[in-house]
Amino acid sequence: MKNIYCVFILLAFAVFGCNQKSKFNTTINSSEDSLSSYLSMANDFTLSREKREDFTRKAFSIVIDQPSDSLNTVNLFKVANRYYNMDDWKNFKITVDIILEKAIANNDTVSKLKAYTYLGDFYLLQTVSDSAFIYYSKAEKMYLQRNDNYNLAKTKLNKALLQFNAGDFLGSEIAVFNALRAVKGEEKSDVVYESYNMLGVIYNEIGEYEKAVEYNSKALASIDNDIVEAVFQAKATSLNNIGYVYQNMNKHDKALRYFKEGLEQKNLKTDKPFVYAMLLDNLAYSKFKIRDFEGLPEQFFYALKFRDSLHLTSGIIVSKMRLSEYFAFKKDSVRSLQYAEESLKESIISQNYRSVLLALKRLSTIEPQKAAYYTEEYIHVNDSLQKAERTMGEKFTRIEYETDQIKSENTDLLEQNRNLVYLFGGLGILGLFIFTIKTQKAKNRELLFKQEQQIANEDIYNLMISQQNTIETNRIKEKNRVARELHDGVLGRMFGVRMNLDGLNAFQDEDAVVQRTNYLSELKNIEQDIREISHDLNREKSELINNFVAIIDELFEEQKKTYKPKFISSIDSTIKWELISNSKKINLYRILQESLQNINKYALANTIRVEFEKKDNYIILKISDDGIGFNVKTAKKGIGIQNILFRTSECDGVVDIKSEKGQGTIITVTLPIE
């Protein structure tokens, strides 16, 4: 459900940015009648898009031929804003690139700074996060040098949004507090509002709901209509955010009050249609959760139709997921499956992988017979998402480092601030100590988040096990059917043949001999039928495969197909997997996955061997390779080994790692069987 927030943040920042840009266009040079007229008509929203595009192109053709001076730059910015307001991103980017080129050539710092900000906005809206982060970082350094605290804070908020969307919640939180510090003591309510609103979103995402309510309430209280104009519907947005937090806390009665108050805001539907759609959908969902079905599912359908008309992909996905949940509750499995599949398809197309995970979890509930498939897909997507977020976070860190490096090379600035460095050195150490404490707290929150993910994995695995039970039940039913068939069919035929043969014992004529021969043939046919039924039963028994073993086999097959080392595996057939808890199975799978990944990346092995063995009341997983090995005593315990140790400890087991340089590695994990 994170998309409800993400869409709002992205669009809210885009709208604030648009408002800021449009203010730049209030002055028109009366001496340039044709250019002034074209620019004015291009910004007349009562005209069709085609006409506004035509007037903008005409204005651009005039401006591009003007001498390269400050007035020319002003007019180019006006043209860029017209393209921005029409969502013509291609021409917007072309125009801003021209401005930046001229600004660099003319050493125009102000125009260069504004161009960096515009390019950051462009890449933010195009979801090219690393490029957006680069341009915002460049603008941030320049605002810092110019002591422009207001725009510095706005830029930090934009960077915080990028970090949030990339899953770097700690970095986003720090960036927001830095933005608040930049405007401390200044009357800038829009920055304060956006900062509190962003903090509310962050804390809701990481499950700190009390803090989320606190900061969303602060955002609501900080709204000043003289600075944050009513047309932006900031109050409706904050009311929706507070209600959504209570929704996550399963306090739907409280949530309903905020959603209803939000929908009562004047001109909401026309000013901010996407906020109106969110409030309507959230209201319907909380009503459904408290089993108030008045107006349902019509309100869900209306919100979906409204979002579809606005092309709000993330909102459409949320609406369809909730419709799927609603119809599942109503026992309408066909419509529930339809909306879940549509949600999954649209999530994949839009590359919204968090929604993909939610859709897979929903589908595994609706179609338990495919639970193993959905579980495997869930694990794959979840791992890919974590890797992508980690990569993006590393990119952001590298960008920050490189821009800091450029700053440090400016020796004149370093000389001017040398005394300040000495003066505040002690304060910096204190700040570093506080930052270290906050970082540790953030790591604890991250660990909690991982544990919640593990619980979600176990829920899906439980669904898979329930499907196994369903298969077993059907198998028993089939055996009962076969037993009835044997009793009512085969035994009945045998009884008839026996009775007829007894009747023929008193006769020795030719007809009696022929009849006895026929009955003997019938007995042979019955014998053949019994053989076939027995063969089918044995084949069924041999083909019955435990779901967990099937998943492990899939991992083994993937290893064989993808990597060069020879792979040997064995699973003790005496292990009764149904007696082993789901949490232990999940941890065994993750330990095996982590070990294979480490071997493939570092070991340079020619052969890998994996063995599952049952010994007394223990299950033993042994993973060995003939790779380069390492010194167990001196080697750093990386994240991979720490994860193996942590997961084994969770299962009350022990790990034994044996390795020497050039002698390969053997990892033995021993877990007790309950």
Looking up residue 661, the CATH number of its domain turns out to be 3.30.565.10
Whether residue 422 has pLDDT greater than 90: no
- Amino acid 134: pLDDT: 85
Percent with pLDDT over 90 in the chain: 19
Query: Domain range for residue 509?
Result: 464-543
Range in 19-28, 132-141, 302-311, 566-575 the model is least confident about = 19-28
Whether residue 509 has pLDDT greater than 80: no
pLDDT band at 627 (very low <50, low <70, confident <90, very high): very high
- Within 10 Å of residue 60's Cβ, how many Cβ atoms? 25
* 396 plus 534 within the same structural domain: no
- Amino acid 19: pLDDT: 39
Mean pLDDT, range 208-227, rounded to an integer:
85
Asked whether residue 225 is domain-assigned, the answer is no
* 477 plus 504 within the same structural domain: yes
The 3 state secondary structure assigned to 65-110 is: CCCCCHHHHHHHHHHHHHHHHCCCHHHHHHHHHHHHHHHHHCCCHH
Asked whether residue 82 is domain-assigned, the answer is yes
Asked whether residue 575 is domain-assigned, the answer is yes
Whether residue 44 has pLDDT greater than 90: no
Q: Which residue has the higher pLDDT, 139 or 214?
A: 214
- Amino acid 206: pLDDT: 87
- Amino acid 29: pLDDT: 41
Tens-digit pLDDT profile for residues 460-482: 556 555 655 565 566 666 666 66
Tens-digit pLDDT profile for residues 434-450: 888 888 877 777 677 56
Whether residue 30 has pLDDT greater than 50: no
Mean pLDDT, range 281-305, rounded to an integer:
92
Q: Reading across the β-sheet that carries 654-659, which strands appear in turn?
A: 566-571, 607-615, 618-625, 665-672, 654-659
* 328 plus 381 within the same structural domain: yes
The mean predicted confidence, pLDDT, of the chain is 78
* 10 plus 142 within the same structural domain: yes
Selection from 94, 106, 21, 115 nearest residue 67 by Cα:
106
Mean pLDDT, range 526-542, rounded to an integer:
60
Whether residue 84 has pLDDT greater than 90: no
Range in 180-194, 385-399, 447-461 the model is least confident about = 385-399
- Amino acid 273: pLDDT: 87
Whether residue 366 has pLDDT greater than 80: yes
Number of domains comprising the chain = 4
* 10 plus 136 within the same structural domain: yes
Q: 3-state DSSP call for residue 662?
A: coil
Asked whether residue 413 is domain-assigned, the answer is no
Long-range contacts of 19-26 (CB under 8 A, 24+ apart): 19/229, 19/232, 21/80, 21/81, 21/84, 21/118, 22/81, 22/85, 24/77, 24/78, 24/81, 25/78, 25/81
* 584 plus 492 within the same structural domain: no
Name the domain boundary from 93, 122, 146: 146
Query: Does pTM top 0.75 for this prediction?
Result: no
Asked whether residue 276 is domain-assigned, the answer is no
- Give yes or no for a contact between 135 and 120, defined as CB atoms under 8 angstroms apart: yes
Mean pLDDT, range 68-74, rounded to an integer:
84
Tens-digit pLDDT profile for residues 251-267: 999 999 999 999 999 88
Q: Which residue has the higher pLDDT, 161 or 375?
A: 161
Give the H/E segment covering residue 503: helix 491-504
